[in-house]
Amino acid sequence: MSPQDVLTELTALQAGDVPTHGGATMAYVYDSGRVDIEELAAAAQAAFQWTNALDPTAFPSVARIENDLVGAALALLGGGPTAVGSLTSGGTESCLLAVLAARERWRANGGAGRPRLLLPVTAHAAFRKAAHLFDLEVVDVPVDPVTCRADVAAVGDRLDERTALVVVSAPSYPHGVLDPVGEVAALAAAAGVPCHVDACIGGWILPFLDDVPEPFDLSVPGVTSLSVDLHKYGYAPKGVSVLLAATPELRQAHWFSTAGWPGYPVVNPTLAGTRPAGAMAAAWAVHRLLGTDGYRELAGQAHEATLALVRGIADIPGIRVVGQPVATLVAVAEDGADGVDVLNLADEMTARGWLLQPQPPFAQPGGDLPATLHLTVTGATAGRVPALLADLTAAARAAAALPRPVADPELVAAAATIDPATLTVAEVDALLEVAGVGGGRLPERMAPVHALVAALPRPVAERLLSGVLDLVYRPAVEPTRP
Ligand SMILES: Cc1ncc(COP(=O)(O)O)c(C=O)c1O
């Protein structure tokens, strides 16, 4: 095929994707709305696409890029004289490594048995993945059901000699609210436990805002590590995040080195071996282009838009904003006796060209959390707030007229008898057919599917979710063998 034909075919694949640009996709993507940023990022990425960040002695350029970006992050986020950091592939990897480092430190300090990870229930799921991979026991910490901030007393009750790490979010992904970082970090420090601030989504925006209610960064006593993603509000392309550590010893604790094989001596600071340098180079370039003033301007735009959105939602009957959003994330819940079901609202917004991310209701001690819709506001949404509010108003009216999505009680009762561990892939496929997502094709209206997922026993729901992915990822069949 000619390069032109290949590219035509490749870009045609994107026809079914949600838009990455224009501000209507309010999760997954961070659109600055600025062509100059994107052109520079693409050029930087292209210049480094064949470079291997595996070995900074062979490619000193990547060491320079990493040191510059980590230095910038430390300057922005309160790193002290001993603080260091690493570039990783994204928020999940930064969170994984923070947990790995804490586990290694806990073991080195004589910790015995299975270490514990204290997680406010709103902490990102990446920490549950870390606990799964590195064999820690998750200890759930409830959040205040009204403010959705981590409950400090509940953290205190759960700290013990098996606790390897406490996590707080700045802000949390589900509700965009700031955990009481100072209070939690102080309790953790008093118990000799490290405290990680997950600022993956907020760390490159909060420092540029004037009205952040309380300090949240590495300068807060007791905070030992912090994650911040450049591929979110750093407006870099996907694949780059920063993990900061208060001391080089803590950073060393997530490194791996071996001379125990006949090949080249290996030392990996992160999970990967070969590391792509393209996104790192693009992040470096965007950072140079924007500087503090450029980021402040973009953060201000997105924040103003968020405030306007919050004010506008207050005037829409049947819905409300949850908690006090501190950055540029908003969670919308049903409000009042004539409340609007937010799962139906999500479908109505999808029909109007917007992607608002449904988040299921969540049961926890002290008060359940309602179902919400998540909205990530970026520079590109800023100019579209009036249109967004107009569509939200119309969508709320339309959603109010729809029947509430309820899970089929017979299906839920039958699911309760299933042991998900024993299900074969074919049986999962058959169950998904009954649930309305046969063949991995999602229906136009997702509200009933979300309602079902929320009603199922969690292990069954988790097995079915994997089943959907199993259907989506089926190898495409080549017409002939080469
Ligand atoms: C607070 C927080 N932590 C971690 C992550 C995981 O980041 P990633 O999707 O880059 O792996 C996210 C993603 O939105 C996040 O918001």
* Choice from 229, 231, 233 to test ligand 1 binding pocket (greatest atom count within 8 A of CB): 229
DSSP H helical ranges for 82-125: 91-108
Pick the atom of ligand 1 nearest to 173's CA. 16
Query: Mean per-residue pLDDT for 425-429?
Result: 90
Which residue lies with its CA nearest to atom 9 of ligand 1?
91
Q: Does domain 43-258+269-286 have CATH number 3.40.640.10?
A: yes
User: Could you tell me if residue 245 is left (phi over 0), alpha (psi between -120 and 50 degrees) or otherwise beta?
Assistant: beta
Q: Please, which pLDDT band fits residue 415 given cuts at 50, 70 and 90? A: confident
Distance (Å) from CA 139 to ligand 1 centroid: 20
Decide: 131 in ligand 1 pocket, CB within 6 A. Answer: no
Q: Phi first, then psi: give them for residue 44, nearest 5 degrees.
A: -65, -40
Q: Report the amino acid identity of residue 210.
A: D
Q: Of ligand 1's atoms, which has the minimum distance to the CA of residue 232?
A: 10
Confidence of residue 314 (pLDDT cuts 50, 70, 90): very high
Question: How high is the pLDDT of residue 285?
Answer: 98
CB 141 within 8 A of CB 154: yes
Mean pLDDT of 367-396: 96
Element (H, E) at 190: helix 181-190
Strand 195-198 versus strand 223-229 pairing type = parallel
Average pLDDT over every residue of 74-92: 97
CA of 65 to the centre of ligand 1 (A): 22
**Nearest atom in ligand 1 to 199's CA:** 1
Q: Which two tokens stand for residue 170?
A: 């700045």
**From the CA atom positions of the chain, what is the Rg in Å?**
23
Cα(321) to centroid(ligand 1), Å: 21
Poorest-pLDDT segment among 1-15, 159-173, 375-389, 403-417: 403-417
Closest CA to 178 of 144, 150, 220, 207: 150
479, pLDDT greater than 70: no
**Cβ contacts of residue 245 below 8 Å, gap of 6+?**
83, 84, 85, 86, 101, 224, 225, 251
Domain(s) of CATH 3.40.640.10: residues in the chain: 43-258+269-286
- For the chain, the maximum distance between any two Cα atoms, rounded to a whole number of angstroms, is 69
CA of 248 to the centre of ligand 1 (A): 24
Is the minimum distance from the CB of 198 to ligand 1 under 6 angstroms?
Answer: yes
Tens digits of residue pLDDT in 246-304: 999 999 999 999 999 999 999 999 999 999 999 999 999 999 999 999 999 999 999 99
pLDDT tens-digit series, residues 208-231:
999 999 999 999 999 999 999 999
When pLDDT is averaged across residues 61-67 and rounded to a whole number, the result is 98
Mean pLDDT across the stretch 445-454?
90
Our mutation pick for probing the ligand 1 site, out of 173, 204, 240, counting the most ligand atoms within 8 A of Cβ, is 173
Amino acid found at 246: A
- Return the pLDDT at 437: 85
pLDDT reported for residue 482:
64
Is the previous residue joined to 171 through a cis bond, with omega within 30 degrees of 0? yes
Q: In 3D, which of 202, 219, 379 has the Cα closest to residue 290?
A: 379
Among 92, 177, 228, 359, residue to substitute to test ligand 1 (most atoms within 8 Å of Cβ): 92
Lowest mean pLDDT among 188-197, 278-287, 317-326, 432-441: 432-441
Atom of ligand 1 nearest to the CA of 229: 10
pLDDT at 412 over 80: yes
d(CA 41, CA 20): 15
With a 6 Å cutoff on the Cβ, whether 179 touches ligand 1 is no
CATH topology of domain 291-400: Aspartate Aminotransferase, domain 1 (3.90.1150)
pLDDT at 436: 84
pLDDT on residue 442: 85
Pocket flag, ligand 1, residue 126 (CB < 6 Å): yes
Average pLDDT (366-376) is 96
Establish whether residue 283 lines the binding site of ligand 1, counting it when its CB lies within 6 angstroms of any ligand atom: no
- The single-letter code of the amino acid at 168 is V
Residue 438 has what pLDDT?
Answer: 83
Does residue 92's CB lie within 6 angstroms of at least one atom of ligand 1? yes
Residue with CA closest to ligand 1 atom 6: 91
* Tens of pLDDT, residues 135-145: 999 999 999 99
Whether residue 420 has pLDDT greater than 90:
yes
CB-CB neighbours of 292 under 10 Å: 13
Average pLDDT over residues 457-470: 91
Query: What does DSSP assign to residue 326?
Result: -
CATH 3.90.1150.10 domain extents, the chain = 291-400
* Token pair of 333 as six digits: 């819940």
Which residue has a Cα nearest atom 8 of ligand 1? 91
* pLDDT reading at 362 higher than 70: yes
